[in-house]
């Protein structure tokens, strides 16, 4: 809701001041709303043509088998950049929707162990990194939105892969408390300096660009993770030690009834 200052019995100067402040507040919140709408519209408008461009690029790559290696490479680069921008636009759209309360969740009960296994199999289609799953019990039942939850886990796996060496494994730890479910994703990567740990969930925040120039991230991934997890009634946090690795911990409501 909109902030308002109520000062019924105050002297007139104070009332006037309060009125001015209220006017400013209402203008501010109007301009925030306009900004959200603008971001949302621009993302939407750009996504459609880019998706078409990507479609053409992919179809040329599929059908033309007489491309020179450099043509092939140019088209592949263009396609992967287009994919990158489309993902970025989708993230911006999700965040704008979340801000204005239009991000909807279809919360149902699932067996956490199976969901995590599915996501790990998906990730292993594009990376040959070793990903292990450890669980205290089976089945652990969780209440989430199926596709949003997968999006969260994929974002965290992507990061774990990006920010650690190829030879190191990634580990999922699943745990069940009386009314919560705890999911931890652990990597043995570069780690995150303590002074940055509280800020990495902010939009566009990246730790030391020069250390990870090749990863081409936008700094939106973890803000999406936080928004989605909180939207499903959960929370997310990080523990990390430089040159040892990072652990991202998600806590979500446990499903009380049977599935």
Chain contacts with ligand ADP (rule: CB under 6 A):
159-160, 163, 187, 189-192, 200, 205-207, 217-223, 246
Please say which residue, 187 or 255, places its beta carbon nearer to ligand ADP.
Answer: 187
Please say which residue, 16 or 134, places its beta carbon nearer to ligand ADP.
Answer: 134
| Least distance CB 224 / ligand ADP (angstroms) | 8
| Least distance CB 220 / ligand ADP (angstroms) | 6
| Least distance CB 76 / ligand ADP (angstroms) | 21
| Least distance CB 11 / ligand ADP (angstroms) | 49
| Least distance CB 200 / ligand ADP (angstroms) | 4
Please say which residue, 176 or 246, places its beta carbon nearer to ligand ADP.
Answer: 246
Please say which residue, 152 or 222, places its beta carbon nearer to ligand ADP.
Answer: 222
Please say which residue, 146 or 205, places its beta carbon nearer to ligand ADP.
Answer: 205
Please give, one letter per residue, the 3-state secondary structure of the chain. Answer: CCCCCCCCCCCHHHHHHHHHHHHHHHHHHHHHHHHHHHHHHHHHHHHHHHHHHHHHHHHHHHHCCCCCHHHHHHHHHHHHHHHHHHHHHHHHHHHHHHHCCCCCCCEEEEEHHHHHHHHHHHHHHHCCCCEEEEECCCCCEEEEEHHHHHHHHHHHHHHHHHCCCCCCCEEEEEEECCCEEEEEEEECCCCCCHHHHCCCCCCCCCCCHHHCHHHCCCCCHHHHHHHHHHHCCCEEEEEEECCCEEEEEEEEEECCCCC
Closest chain position to ligand ADP (CB): 217
């Amino acid at each position: 809701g909109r902030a308002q200052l109520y000062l019924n019995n105050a002297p007139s100067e104070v009332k006037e001041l309060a009125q001015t402040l209220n006017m400013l507040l209402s203008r501010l919140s109007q301009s925030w709303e306009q900004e959200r709408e603008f971001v949302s519209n621009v993302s939407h408008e750009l996504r459609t043509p880019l998706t078409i461009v990507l479609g053409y690029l992919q179809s040329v790559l599929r059908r033309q088998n007489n491309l020179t290696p450099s043509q092939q490479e140019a088209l592949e680069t263009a396609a992967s950049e287009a994919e990158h921008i489309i993902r970025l636009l989708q993230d911006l759209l999700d965040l704008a929707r979340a801000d204005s309360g239009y991000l909807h969740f279809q919360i149902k009960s699932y067996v956490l162990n199976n969901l995590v296994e599915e996501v790990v199999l998906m990730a292993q289609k594009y990376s040959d990194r070793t990903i292990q799953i450890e669980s205290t019990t089976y089945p652990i039942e969780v209440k989430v939105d199926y596709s949003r939850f997968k999006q969260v886990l994929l974002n965290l796996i992507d990061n774990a892969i990006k920010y650690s060496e190829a030879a190191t494994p990634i580990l999922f730890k699943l745990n069940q408390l009386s009314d919560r479910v705890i999911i931890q994703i652990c990597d043995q990567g570069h780690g995150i300096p303590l002074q940055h740990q509280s800020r990495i969930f902010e939009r566009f925040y990246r730790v030391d660009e020069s250390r990870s120039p090749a990863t081409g991230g936008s700094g939106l991934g973890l803000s999406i993770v936080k928004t989605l997890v909180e939207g499903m009634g959960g929370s997310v946090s990080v523990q990390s030690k430089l040159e040892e690795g990072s652990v991202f911990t998600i806590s979500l409501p446990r499903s009380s009834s049977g599935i």
